[in-house]
Structures are given as C-alpha cells and as structure tokens.
C-alpha cells in the first residue's frame, strides 16, 4: 500500500539557524588559529540580543562580539525594522574555560588514544533515493530554501523577501518504497509589509512561490525527480497569513534545536546530540559525520539500497561501545546485518582521533554546515580568511563536507567481495 512521508527545512534566517551559524563561526575561528582548540559554545538570539555561553580551551583569543555581528549581517539581518540587526544588537559573552574533569577524559599522551568527548549514540544513514544518497523529501526542502535565499539576495524577481523561512515537502511512496509523486509543499516566508490588503499580499506571495521559486527548484533536479512534480500538488504558502514579524524578534533561537533538519529529515534515526558549536572531540558531531561516511560508502558500493549505521561511545574511552547496522531488508550481500557490522569495524577505524584525522575535522569547515543540512552536501575545497583582534590574518584552503566523499567504495567492495 502506498504511504506518505514528510520532511522539513528552515532557512539561514530562522532564529535557531542564526544561533547555529554564530556558534559554528566561533568554532571555525578558534580552529583556524589553534587546531587543537576544545570548544562547546551555545548561542541564544532574541529581540536585539545575542547571548553566547559555553566552554573553551584554546591558545587563541577572539573578538566574539565582532564574529557574531558579522554572521548576523551576512545572513541578512541588516535593518533596524527587523528588530534584530548585526550592527545594533547587543552581544553578551559568558564563555569560560573548559572543565578540567572533561578535558582529562579526552586528552591523552598520544593523539591516537584520545578518548571520546562524551557518551552517547550517533547514527548515519544513506539511501539510493537521490543522487547524493539522501532522503528525497529533505533534499527538496533544503533546495527550496537555498533557492529562496538566492532570490532574496538577487532582489530582482521577488523584492519583498526577508531572511526567515520554513519549507516542508510530502512525498508519496509506492509499494516498493520508491517515490511516486510530490503530494504537498508548504513554504512560509517572512516578507516586508505590503501596502495592499492582506488577501492581495498573500495572493502575490503564492503566485511568486509557485511560478518563480518552484520552476527554479525543478530546473536544478534530474528529469526523473522533475517528473514527480505534477499539476495536483497541494500548496500551502504562508498558511497562517501575514509573516512580517520573524527571525529572532518573532521567535527566540537556540543552538541545536534543528537536529532533524540537520540530518535526515526524520528518516533513519538520531541519537539526540546537536552538532553546531562543538569541536570534533565531541563525538556527537564527529561520529555522526563518520557514520554518514560509512553508510554512504556502503550504499554506493552496493552493499544495500538503504542503510542505517549506529555507533556508541563512553566518555574518555577510546574504542566504541558497539557498531550496529540495519539494511531494512535491502542488503545485496549474503550476510546478516550483524555480519555487515563486523566488516564495517574492519574497514573503518571509529576511534575519535582516527575519525578526526580521516575526515580532516580539525580545520575550520563548520560555518558551511550550520544551514541547509550537514549531510548530502557538496564536497569541495574553498579558501577562507580569518583575522584575530590583534590583526593577525590567516588564509586557509579548507575541504568541506569530507564525510560526503566516496573514497572508501573500493575498500568496501574488497571487504564484501563486490
């Protein structure tokens, strides 16, 4: 019997994502000047205010206020009428030194014996549903908001957009768990106040989203995905009506409140730990990236069409507590899921230091992860420049989204005899 599955995304101007981006900008700046920095920083944003809190162990000093303001301005909160803008908002820092009790469990005499920065379980997931091996509903939700943000910055085809937005896509699947069509699309976008009546304003926004945004999104998709967009899609555009008050003025934002948007849109599973604001010694982040790397390479190698990988840790302990694999009955090899998990242990070193090294996680790669999802993104190298309060400047070539590389496919094929 066919069924429906829904995923959502939020824009870079959503208050929770504003908080995530500030936290990850701090991570990048610390790692740029001291790659061994240990950082766990949280951000709260509300009307006219940014509050920073957390723990840091680093050999560098940063102007955290300046970094926070730069992030807010880059997102697009640059006008006083938003009641939150980078030039005038207050920035309060309550960042202090990392607990020695925690640090004792992480640092070791040799890097290889580094313990996990916390206990917990992390999940990675991959599916053949899309070219980047991500769930389709989430992939489309992200793409809609990426293109909406591009339209906002171009300020040509749609001139009234403000930074805050949310999207949601519902996909109908057939009996074989294959996407058959797009059932519904929800988009709520913040906008300037209109001179016209509310019903005129809403009609204009709906028309622009359906006739400008959606065709632009479809043009980025492969023909087989475009074919899922029929004439019977149910559109809900700004369904509550007027959306002028938004961003941190409309809703307080906190780091780490969009963990499902950040991962697989409700597919697979989630261990509960947020990513943004954490350096890679925190396995909440690094092991979630590592398990995505494992799952993606297994699916790409042909082990299964859909795979969930779980790894778990104890704080201060080097080796994982265990590795679990679920292929949802789609395995293409004559092995049980438990036997597949044993082979994963042989191919992938899941010790925290090994993960950091394999995925180059002690580089300032994290700002790009803080909006539009941490998984399924493009692996590329970019140049980034950082400046300290005393004027020291450093330009680095940084490889982004290393966990999306298919660099272990040959090793997986060899291990599984494929």
How does pLDDT run across 274-284, given as a tens digit for each residue?
Answer: 999 999 999 99
Q: Is the pLDDT of residue 164 over 90?
A: yes
Q: Do 183 and 86 belong to one domain?
A: no
What is the per-residue pLDDT for 301? 98
Round to whole Å and give the CA distance between 341 and 355.
17
267 located within any domain: no
Check the annotation: does 326 bind a ligand: no
* Shared domain check, 408 and 285: yes
Q: What are the pLDDT digits (tens) for 104-146?
A: 556 555 666 787 878 899 999 999 999 999 999 999 999 999 9
Q: What is the CA radius of gyration of the chain?
A: 22
**Is position 42 annotated in a ligand binding site?**
yes
Please report which confidence band the pLDDT of residue 54 belongs to, taking 50, 70 and 90 as the band edges.
very high
Q: Closest Cα to residue 365, out of 281, 293, 291, 279?
A: 279
324 appears as a binding residue in the annotation: no
Instruction: Count Cβ neighbours within 10 Å for each residue of 205-233 and write b for 16 or more, e otherwise.
Output: beebbeeebbebbbeebeeebeebbeeeb
* 17 in a labelled binding site: no
Same domain, 300 and 403: yes
- Residue 257: inside a domain, yes or no? no
Last residue of a domain, one of 206, 225, 245: 245
* CATH at residue 66: 3.30.300.10
Question: Is the torsion defined by CA of 348, 177, 4, 10 positive or negative?
Answer: positive
Per-residue pLDDT of 194-250, as tens digits, reads 877 888 889 999 999 999 999 999 999 999 999 999 999 999 999 998 999 999 999
Q: Considering the domain boundaries, does residue 160 fall inside one? A: yes
**pLDDT on residue 365:** 98
For the stretch 395-409, pLDDT in tens is: 999 999 999 999 999
* Confidence band of 266 (pLDDT split at 50, 70, 90): very high
Final residue of a structural domain among 207, 229, 245: 245
Pairing outcome for strands 49-57 and 90-97:
parallel
Query: 358 falls in which pLDDT band (50, 70, 90)?
Result: very high
Domain boundary among 230, 245, 260: 245
Whether residue 262 is contained in a domain is answered as no
Same domain, 108 and 142: no
What integer is the mean pLDDT of 283-299? Answer: 98
The answer to whether residue 260 is domain-embedded is no
Shared domain for 309 and 295, answered yes or no, is yes
Is 38 among the annotated ligand-binding positions? no
Question: In this structure, are 305 and 409 located in the same domain?
Answer: yes
pLDDT higher than 80, residue 384: yes
DSSP 332: -
Is there a domain that residue 263 lies in? no
Residue 198: predicted pLDDT? 83
Domain-located, residue 159: yes
What percent of the chain has a predicted confidence (pLDDT) above 90?
Answer: 89
The answer to whether residues 22 and 108 belong to one domain is yes
**pLDDT recorded at residue 199:** 87
Host domain of residue 156: 3-11+136-245
Q: CA angle, corner 206, sides to 202 and 209, nearest 5? A: 140
Q: What are phi and psi of 403, to 5 degrees?
A: -70, -5
Q: Quote the pLDDT of residue 104.
A: 53
DSSP E strands in 174-259: the ranges are: 179-191, 234-237, 253-254
102 and 162 both lie in a single domain: no
Q: Are strands 179-191 and 234-237 parallel, antiparallel or unpaired?
A: parallel
Mean pLDDT, the chain, rounded, equals 94
Q: Is 16 annotated as a binding residue?
A: yes
- Mark whether 395 and 300 lie in a shared domain: yes
Report the pLDDT value the prediction gives residue 109, as an integer from 0 to 100.
55
Tell me if 11 sits within 8 A of 141, measured CB to CB. Answer: no
Written as six digits, the tokens of 155 are 């300020």
Looking at the fold, whether 284 and 323 belong to one and the same domain comes out as yes
164 is in an annotated binding site: yes
pLDDT score recorded for residue 257: 97
CA gap 409, 303 in Å, rounded:
10
Q: Is 275 annotated as a binding residue?
A: no
**Would you say 107 is a known binding-site residue?**
no
**How many structural domains does the chain have?**
3
DSSP per-residue string spanning 17-78: HHHHHHHHHHHHHHHHH-TT-EEEEEEEEETTEEEEEEEEE-S----HHHHHHHHHHHHT--
99 pLDDT more than 70: no
- Looking at residue 117, its pLDDT comes to 76
Res. 98: pLDDT tops 80? no
Residues 194 and 319 in one domain: no
Same structural domain, 156 and 124: no
303-357 pLDDT per residue, tens: 999 999 999 999 988 999 999 999 999 999 999 999 999 999 999 999 999 999 9
Contact call for residues 56 and 97 (beta carbons, < 8 A): yes
- The annotation status of 274 as a binding-site residue, yes or no, is yes
Q: Is residue 30 part of a domain?
A: yes
278 in a known ligand binding site: yes
Confirm or deny that 257 is annotated as ligand binding: yes
Beta strands in 117-160 (DSSP E): 120-127
DSSP single-letter state for residue 112:
G
Residue 130 tokens, joined: 């899309």
Q: Is 19 annotated as a binding residue?
A: no
């Amino acid at each position: 019997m066919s069924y429906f599955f829904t995923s959502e995304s939020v824009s870079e101007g959503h208050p929770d994502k504003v908080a995530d981006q500030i936290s990850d900008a701090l991570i990048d700046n610390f790692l740029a000047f001291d790659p061994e920095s240990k950082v766990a920083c949280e951000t709260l944003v509300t009307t006219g205010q940014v509050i920073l809190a957390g723990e840091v162990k680093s050999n560098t000093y940063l102007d955290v206020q300046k970094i926070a303001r730069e992030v807010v301005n880059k997102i697009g909160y640059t006008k006083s009428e938003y009641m939150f803008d980078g030039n005038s908002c207050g920035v309060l820092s309550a960042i202090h030194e990392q607990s020695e009790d925690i640090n004792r469990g992480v640092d070791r005499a040799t890097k290889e014996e580094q313990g996990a920065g916390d206990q917990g379980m992390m999940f990675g997931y991959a599916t053949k549903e899309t070219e980047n091996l991500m769930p389709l509903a989430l992939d489309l939700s992200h793409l809609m908001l990426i293109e909406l943000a591009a339209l906002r910055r171009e300020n040509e085809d749609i001139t009234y957009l403000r930074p805050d937005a949310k999207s949601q896509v519902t996909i109908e699947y057939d009996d074989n768990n294959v996407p058959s069509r797009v059932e519904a699309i929800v988009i709520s976008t913040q906008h300037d106040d209109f001179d016209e009546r509310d019903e005129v304003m809403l009609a204009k926004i709906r028309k622009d989203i359906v006739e400008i945004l959606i065709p632009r999104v479809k043009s980025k998709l492969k023909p087989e995905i475009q074919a899922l967009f029929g004439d019977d899609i149910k559109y809900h555009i700004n369904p509550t009506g007027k959306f002028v008050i938004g961003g941190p003025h409309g809703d307080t934002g906190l780091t780490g409140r969009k963990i499902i948007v950040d991962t697989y849109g409700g597919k697979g599973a989630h261990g509960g730990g947020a990513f943004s604001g954490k350096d890679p010694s925190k396995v909440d982040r690094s092991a979630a990236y590592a398990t995505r790397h494992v799952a993606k390479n297994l699916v790409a190698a042909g082990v299964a069409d859909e795979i969930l990988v779980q790894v778990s840790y104890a704080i201060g302990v080097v080796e994982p507590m265990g590795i679990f694999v679920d292929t949802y009955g789609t395995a293409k090899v004559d092995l049980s899921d438990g036997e597949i998990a044993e082979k994963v242990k042989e191919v992938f070193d899941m010790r925290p230091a090994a993960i950091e090294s394999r995925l180059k996680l002690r580089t300032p790669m994290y700002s790009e992860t803080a909006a539009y999802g941490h998984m399924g993104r493009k692996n590329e190298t970019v140049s980034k420049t950082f400046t300290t309060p005393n004027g020291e400047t450093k330009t680095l070539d940084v490889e982004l989204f290393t966990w999306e590389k298919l660099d272990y496919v040959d090793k997986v094929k060899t291990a599984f005899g494929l």
